[in-house]
Structure 1
Amino acid sequence: MKRAECKQRVEPISLIPNNIPEEITEEDRKFFSEVVSVDLDDAQRARILNPEMTFPNQKAVLAVHWHPEHVPLSLINRRIDAMFPGREQELIIPTQHNELMSYGDYTGVEVDCYSAGFNQKVQLLLHFENSRLSEAGVLRGMLDHTFKYRSSQLFDFIHSITKPDEERLSMAARQTGASDAVICFVQAYVRKIEALLEEQISHISPLSIKNKLLRNFFDRLRSTCGDGVIDRCQTFLTEVKRLVKLSFPSHYFFRTSEIIEEARHLNAGIVIPHPEQFWPVLLAGYDVDGVEVWNPQSHRYTDFLVSVLNEKNRLAGPTRRPLLVFMGDDTHMGEKTRNIIDQDPAKRSREIGYQPAWEDLNIGKTLIKAGWSRESVITEYKARLSG
């Protein structure tokens, strides 16, 4: 059996396996099949249907930034029922990345776009009534293009390792301290993933063509290689992915103004998510309905952002529609299907409709002065979407 040889190793004695078989083994095929599958087994269904947290006393549920991924909406609906059995008011809209999805009476999407004014990719949340879907042909076309372009990042990620892009690999190695043995191990398995993708691409769901495919595959190797080895590989892969994203040419996305124009044609609501990541968009004066002032990875300036929106509304005067305050849980339901030990700790605690900042006493003072609550935002935003 041929074996992939690593030309250099700085670790004379290492726990990193070497001489990885070049041939794709049955185990490789099994692991690949598991990570690209969008079907749920009984254990995964049980994890979806039995949430770890419930909120029986919460009467209003506002959730307009979350990702179903490959989890059926029927199961998600049952999970929401279990989490919020006492809810009396709700606005729950999925926002899959660059793909329209409907839940109840509404359709939503999180769109990648490009703002030339400050030369940066940004994201927008769009929400509209299902009755407008028949008019959404142009938006669908724009999203299809964006979805395919965004998916191409996975292949750039893979090629950076298998071709390879020596500059990226060297930089990632310096940032993470990855040895030649780690890099060799990663390259051997990414070549296998690349070959399996080429072989099976026509049968794989587009939902599986994501950067996390590599992360999920390497996690399958923990049982044979150990956590220490795979943790080193994951750290290195994460840094390579970060460098790929930094150099990804954003100008191939549609412009933010073009997305907003098409959204308004559908009477869609528009919300700016992740303000801490895309802060220049707050200064651009785009025609939006509101700003996400909190989510699990963007919450440092929540109180400040509520104050800024309140001041903007005051200066705009009563003749203009006020900017609304939103909070996004940014839940990725696909993460819930993984074994708990394999789940990303940063994403594990996220739940649809779970936004504790609404109950934060310090933030609450600012919200009261601004006149916003879950209930008032739900009422106002629904009115705009039906206008």
Structure 2
Amino acid sequence: MSADTLRHAAERIARLCAEPHDLVSLWQGSTEVLARAVPHHWTPCFYTLDPASLLMTSHFHHGLDEFPGEWLAGEYYGDDVHRLADVMCTKSGISTLYEVTGGDPESSPRWHRNMTMGGDQELIARLRTRSGEIWGALALYRAPHAPLFSAAEKHFVQSVAPLLAEGARAALLLGQAREPEFTDSPGLLVLDHNWAVESTTPGVGQWLSELPDGDWDAGRLPSSVLTLAGRTLRTAADPQRGDTTVVRVRSRTGTWVVLHGACLSSSGNPRIAIIIEPAHPGRLYPLLMSAYGLTEREKDITRLVLQGASTAGMAAELSLSAHTVQQHLKSVFAKTGVHSRRDLVAKVFFTHYEPRLRDNEHRARLDKPLRGEPWLPNSSAPDDCGNSS
């Protein structure tokens, strides 16, 4: 592909990701662009990952409505290379199965699974925002005897990965705001071209009442909302920047609240969508506490295990000795009923994340918003038809 073709493709993805979309629509629109920029077999495979644990929460691959169970077992129980967690932890955030096997992909069980779908080469890219949060992954495949992914193609994928990460994060937040699941779910506020309130989702009034210098009952928006709206309009004028407008505000109660802004597509006057959410690291921590009774330090250790950190890495991040890390690990293993780090990762995934992944597959078929958080202990897992009770 020429440099101009790749540049135009990057601009199209930037525009897609700067507009509010549901997640499936974002992936479908990106699929069309990727097909022209980086030729590949069949269709891309998109994943969302929980930033707190880097475990899979959804999978979208047009033509493959359900992720095969044996592939999940290989991802979280198997002894193989090129797993999602492996690529997420690399410095470059992009990898091919051909490279990690030293040019011998047939040595990997993963390659044999891919070949059942006709995919010889596999490229995986990390979808990480510029602020450092990993929200997903993208996988592309090529048929046997096709050329290897080139350096220019990999560079293109790396360049659009932060845009896709921002788009995925916004899509998940937007979906949860439109269909709240928890009392602290994000709220959605839409402003018209005069910055008057056009529409809201349930609970927005409560969110806005917690922000300083606003008065929802009197119709006065907080200055943080107005500032974000102005920044959003300026950013929309240059979509290639791909920056999501974000403001973090301390609420009247002393907690932190995060506001995200995006311009809505329209043939007329611009409209602004503001998403308001609590500034928490995800639902991993309450999940671990309520399900397993872990201490704060044990939760930190478990989070790092899920993210693939080594003992030395955990010791450095938590300012502990390697011996202390190992002692905490023993306690975590005892409380969760496992005997190794791999078993711990698999147990957390199959208990709390696979139900979410299956629920999201069902949601995608019903054109409903996808969820990015793990399945909480007080939630009922979906049945074989994808329904939850």
> Which TM-score tier does this pair reach, normalised by the shorter chain?
under 0.3
- Choose between structure 1 and 2: higher helix proportion: 1
Larger Rg: 1
